[in-house]
Structure 1
Amino acid sequence: MGSGSQSQRERSDAELLGAHVAGDRHAFAELFRRHHRTLYRLARLTSRSPEDAEDALQDAMLSAHRGAASFRFDAAVHSWLHRIVVNACLDRLRRAKARPTVPLELVGDVHWVADRTSEVEAGLAVQRALMRLPVEQRTAVVAVDMQGYSIADTARLLGVAEGTVKSRCARGRARLAVLLGHLNTTADQR
């Protein structure tokens, strides 16, 4: 009966990562399943399109899978995974900058259902405005304002000083206020 206690309690992220490194073929899949939704949301907010987010997440998970043995357990496993996802997204954005393309959703006329038009337009405006921010500002704003990370956690996640995160957020928010100022005017007219 004693052997069942390990299988009945859920293993921690650190235990799953350690088991993966030790050769447990199912441990990393469980770790990925546990964090998939949050990691995808982070990738989506940092990427240009859902497809880029999926590709970045796949790149990140392959990198984490291969590099698991180098994890030093000096941070939480989920923070390590988030950092890998952010880095994968930034790598993809840098590569995309070298060969710019137009996302399919911006090509041609888009016809929306009338009752949700303003909501959808506002969401698209925010997404477009985020994409106009420099990558460093966008990742800081997304982490702090959209993902709810603290300044300290964001600094660790991005590998920069807390003051750098604060200044990137302030500059990003100021730029977003300019880019999205028309939304306040539209709301005031109703």
Structure 2
Amino acid sequence: MNSPPDTPPTAEHARHAVSDAVSDADLLTRHLGGDPHAFSEIVRRHRDRMWAVALRTLGDPDEAADAVQDAFVSAYRKADSFRGEAAVTTWLHRIVVNACLDRMRRKSVRPVADDELIEAAEREAPATDQSSEREVSLEVTAALKLLPPDQRAALVLVDMMGYAVDDAAAVLGVPPGTVKSRCARGRAKLAPILSHLRNRSDLTRVSSGKGAELRDG
């Protein structure tokens, strides 16, 4: 008795199978040409990563969701601003990070003085060094909120998301040296409040676990 034929793929599956072979840049070109599905595919590919960046930068799920939505709306409307000088992913990350920075600046985030950080560390440091991964994540998120927006964004990209300095610089639109400087200043401010964590791996383990690659899919 012959085996029944395989179930034919749905139209949705077939569309994704075709679109997965198309680069991000080509999808953006198709979007500009009027393809009603091209930009949706870009969103499908990259929304999780954009959400992770926004959440770690803002530390608030609602704010992060709004920032990602604002960023994708902006990217949709300004797709013709993409010049192909970097990967589409880099361009998208820049828009998301800028949306996050705009939200932080509108709240007038005040830089926290070193003595305030030391006081916070004395108040918040646990008696033991047995924090769970979730507790570490919450502590790091709370500490990041004490930093100026530019330093916070640099640390999120480099230390938490695993981006190379050059890639983070491309996202932020600044020279690599500026990213290094912002990271150094941010780490110096965070050191007192996070000194009870064993080492810097505690900071990076709350990320997705792998270094980010900014490649055009």
TM-score (normalised: structure 1)? 0.79
Give distance in 2, aligned partners of 1:128 and 1:9.
38
Alignment size in residue pairs:
162
Percent of pairs with identical residues: 54
1:35, distance to aligned residue in structure 2 (A): 0.5
Q: Which structure 2 residue ranges, 5 or more long, are not aligned? A: 1-13, 110-129, 199-217
Where 2:196 maps in the other structure, the secondary structure is helix
2:84 to 58, 73, 76: 73
Larger helix proportion of the pair = 1
Aligned structure 1 segments of 4 or more residues deviating by more than 3 angstroms: 6-9
1:87 aligns with 2:98: yes
**2:123: which partner in 1?**
none
* Distance change (3 Å), C-alpha of 1:59 and 1:21: same
2:79 alignment partner AA: A
1:31-85 Cα offsets, whole Å, 9 max, x none, are 0000011110011111130000000000000000000012111110000000000
1:122, distance to aligned residue in structure 2 (A): 2.7
1:118 alignment partner AA: S
**2:147: which partner in 1?**
133
2:58 to 43, 47, 56: 47
Give distance in 2, aligned partners of 1:93 and 1:74.
28
**2:174: which partner in 1?**
160
**2:131: which partner in 1?**
118
2:68 to 52, 57, 65: 57
2:81 alignment partner AA: S
**1:171: which partner in 2?**
185
* Distance change (3 Å), C-alpha of 1:9 and 1:81: closer
User: Which structure ranks higher in relative contact order (CA pairs < 8 Å, sequence separation ≥ 6)?
Assistant: 2
RMSD: 2.0
Give distance in 2, aligned partners of 1:83 and 1:8.
24
1:112-151 Cα offsets, whole Å, 9 max, x none, are xxxxx93243322211111111111111111111111111
* Distance change (3 Å), C-alpha of 1:9 and 1:36: closer
TM-score (normalised: structure 2)? 0.70
1:8, distance to aligned residue in structure 2 (A): 7.4
1:9, distance to aligned residue in structure 2 (A): 6.2
